[in-house]
Amino acid sequence: MAHEARLGWLLAFAFACVAPNFLSVSMRDVALYMLLYIVVAQSFRMITLTGDWSLGHVVTMGVGAYASALLVKKLGFSVWIAMPSAALVGALIAYILSFPLFRLKGNYFLIGSFAAGEAIRLTWFKYRDPFGGPTGILRIPAPELTVPGLGTLDFSDWSLFYYLALGFTVLCLWLMWRLERSRIGLTLNAIHWRDLLAESVGVDVRRYKTLAFVIASFFAAFAGAMFSHYLGSANPNQFGLAVMLYVLVWVIVGGTRTFAGPVIGTVLLTALSEILRVVGVDEYRPAIYGIILILTILFLPQGLESLPGRVRDWCARRKGVVPAA
């Protein structure tokens, strides 16, 4: 099983490495969104590990996008420094928000996080200076890198940015994977299943929840910063409720139980969106997402990642039944 999984990740990585060679121009954007949204979806899962569902995660991503753009354009930061700084800004804002939000649980946390996110988003809408109001921030520069002997690498070139994003995504996934296997990740898991028991053996539940929330926000904000430098713009509508609900759909359809779930969900459903666009039924996408979401919850509550296991169980049961009969 572990071998199969490792093989799967390696194949996916190899495929991602060669993908630019046969992608059409319109699919290039999709491939890049996919890479960055994998990070967002995976970090979203980190919050759900503790049993809480945040509806402010895409806004956190927006915080990274805005922060990075403003650091570069208003304060003259280098893009390479602005992006990690923006991720820290996202983490800091998450830390501040954690004080009111983690007084809440379950449905209350969900609505609270949604409200906090909307308040931030409305602030971008309202203040033209510095956030640019509804049009947002335009002409955000792409990163550049001067390598001695190679000259200047300009990342506004798509394939260069693609490999940058690929490296970023792989690094983020690896870090989140390590984190989940660490003591922290195991504690989060304990909190999810038995929060009172964890508390009674001396785990500071609130502190660990905050930690997961802040780390997840760091990754989401970093991905958001990458977005803004790729697209060259950031506006409030890119980070609205619709996008948040899409991320929710990806994560739930993929499955939150294992690490692979959100990645599978994001890749398959983003690919499906692209197919729908090519076929020309783009306007039905939300409804198709809705139907997939409902069918998943009804028939495959653990998500797509549980499908192989279920099929294997089913086969084993059949094999077991046949000799008996």
Partner 1 sequence: MLDLILQTCVNALYASSYTALMAVGLVLIFGVMGIINFAHGELLMVGAYVVFFLYATFGWPFPLAVAGSIVIVALIGVLMERALFKPMRGNPLGGLIMSVGALFILQVATVDIAGLGLAKNIPPAYDGSVALFGIETLTLPRQRLIVMVAATAGLVLLWLFLTRTKLGWALRACAQDPEAAALQGISLDRTALIAMVIGAAFAGGAGALLAPIVQVTPYMGHAYVVTAFIVIIVGGVGSLEGAVVASVIFTFFDTFVTTFIDGSTAAILGLLLMLVVLVVKPTGLFGSAEKA
Residue with tokens 């504690």: 187
Shortest approach of partner 1 to residue 128 CB, angstroms?
11
Task: Kindly tell me which of 134 and 309 has the beta carbon lying closer to partner 1.
Answer: 134
Asked if 187 and 203 count as a contact pair (C-beta separation under 8 A), the reply is: yes
Task: Kindly tell me which of 140 and 191 has the beta carbon lying closer to partner 1.
Answer: 191
Structure tokens at 163: 């490999």
Asked if 240 and 55 count as a contact pair (C-beta separation under 8 A), the reply is: no
- Cβ burial of 44 (10 Å; 0-12, 13-18, 19+) is buried
* 284 is a contact residue toward partner 1 (CB under 8 A): yes
* 286 is a contact residue toward partner 1 (CB under 8 A): yes
* 125 is a contact residue toward partner 1 (CB under 8 A): yes
Q: Which of 6, 42, 60 is nearest to 185 (CA)?
A: 42
* 107 is a contact residue toward partner 1 (CB under 8 A): yes
Task: Kindly tell me which of 20 and 51 has the beta carbon lying closer to partner 1.
Answer: 51
Structure tokens at 56: 């402010």
* 289 is a contact residue toward partner 1 (CB under 8 A): yes
Structure tokens at 33: 């969104």
Among 7, 10, 122, 197, binds partner 1 (CB under 8 A): 122
Among 8, 14, 17, 126, binds partner 1 (CB under 8 A): 126
Among 53, 155, 168, 208, binds partner 1 (CB under 8 A): 53
Task: Kindly tell me which of 298 and 321 has the beta carbon lying closer to partner 1.
Answer: 298
How big is the site for partner 1, counted in residues (CB under 8 A)? 38
Q: Which of 142, 123, 144 is nearest to 63 (CA)?
A: 123
Task: Kindly tell me which of 281 and 307 has the beta carbon lying closer to partner 1.
Answer: 281
Residue with tokens 């919850």: 297
Angle at 73 (CA atoms; ends 67, 78), nearest 5 degrees: 85
Structure tokens at 195: 């929060």
Task: Kindly tell me which of 23 and 104 has the beta carbon lying closer to partner 1.
Answer: 104
Element (H, E) at 152: strand 151-154
Where does this chain bind partner 1 (CB under 8 A)? 53, 99-100, 103-108, 110-112, 114-116, 118-119, 122-123, 125-126, 241, 245, 248-249, 252, 283-284, 286-287, 289-291, 293-294, 297-298, 301
